[in-house]
Amino acid sequence: MTVRVGVLVSGRGTNLAALLAAEAAGELAPAEIVVVISNKPGVRALEIAADAGKPALVVDHRTAGGREAFEHALLAALAQHGVETVVLAGFMRVLTSTFVSAYPQRIVNTHPALLPAFPGTDGPAQAIAHGVKVAGVTVHFVDTGVDTGPIIAQRAVPVLPGDTAETLHHRIQVEEHRLLPAVVRALAQGRLVCEGRTVAIRGADADQLL
Ligand code: GAR
């Protein structure tokens, strides 16, 4: 049985592209991307979605009439496409309980830092500014906090001498583009079990992660 996935984006869409590539390669099943929604018009992610033949919509947070109305509009668009699971792929808006309670443990986000360190915006820049030696990516369930939900999977990458926020982000994204599709597949397969803050991954290959 297919699990209908809606992807929310705000910008470049490299994670969306990774999800679409995984889907095209048959590596996302039973997840199927049925709609892509951006809160910003004119972003590259919308072109990537359209090029892949996916419905690509804009729900603009600036013209929606407030946060509550914005989230209701998002929920309506997702419902129209029969979405069961939501993936935040570079979606840069914090969601309230209005949205989150509609998809209990069915919303995942990717963040370019080893949470709980460096939440919010510019994770790689925060890591550089702090002088950490190890950075990485976290994929987690979404709650109403800023990057605070239960952690599903993480991958570490080294911070190298001379790194800038850009070079570090690029190294993180190599891992991110593998990890996010793997998590989406595992979630669609029903292999993620969340108890409190702890997420277990069922399946023989759980050591490899997903
Ligand atoms: C990604 O690295 C994602 O982890 C980050 O924005 C980038 C979007 O790139 N998200 C956050 O920082 C969320 N707090 P993309 O548009 O190319 O996928």
Q: How far, in Å, from the CA of 195 to the mean position of ligand 1?
A: 26
Active site residues per annotation: 111
Which residue type is seen at 19? Answer: L
* Residue 120 backbone class (left: φ over 0; alpha: ψ -120 to 50; beta: rest): left
pLDDT value for 120: 96
Per-residue pLDDT of the chain (210 residues; tens, 9 = 90+): 899 999 999 999 999 999 999 999 999 999 999 999 999 999 999 999 999 999 999 999 999 999 999 999 999 999 999 999 999 999 999 999 999 999 999 999 999 999 999 999 999 999 999 999 999 999 999 999 999 999 999 999 999 999 999 999 999 999 999 999 999 999 999 999 999 999 999 985 655 566
Angle between helices 165-188 and 14-24 (to 10 degrees): 40
> Which CATH code for domain 1-104?
3.40.50.170
pLDDT value for 203: 85
CA 99 from chain centre, in angstroms, equals 15
Give 110-210's CATH code, choosing from 3.30.1490.150, 3.40.50.170, 1.20.1070.10, 3.30.830.10: 3.40.50.170
Domain boundaries, the chain: 1-104, 110-210
Atom of ligand 1 at shortest range from CA of 90: 8
Pocket-testing residue among 7, 8, 9, 15, ligand 1, by greatest number of atoms within 8 A of Cβ: 15
Q: How far, in Å, from the CA of 135 to the mean position of ligand 1?
A: 15
Q: How far, in Å, from the CA of 131 to the mean position of ligand 1?
A: 21
The string of DSSP codes covering 68-121 is HHHHHHHHHHHHHTT--EEEESS------HHHHTTSTT-EEEEESS-TTSS-SS
How far is Cα 87 from Cα 171, in angstroms, rounded to an integer?
A: 22
CB atoms within 10 A of CB 101: 10
How far is Cα 29 from Cα 87, in angstroms, rounded to an integer?
A: 15
Record the tokens describing residue 41, joined without a space: 């018009």
Q: List b or e across 129-165, with b for residues whose CB sees 16 or more CB atoms inside 10 angstroms.
A: eeebeebbbbbbbbbeeebebbbbbbbebebeeebeb
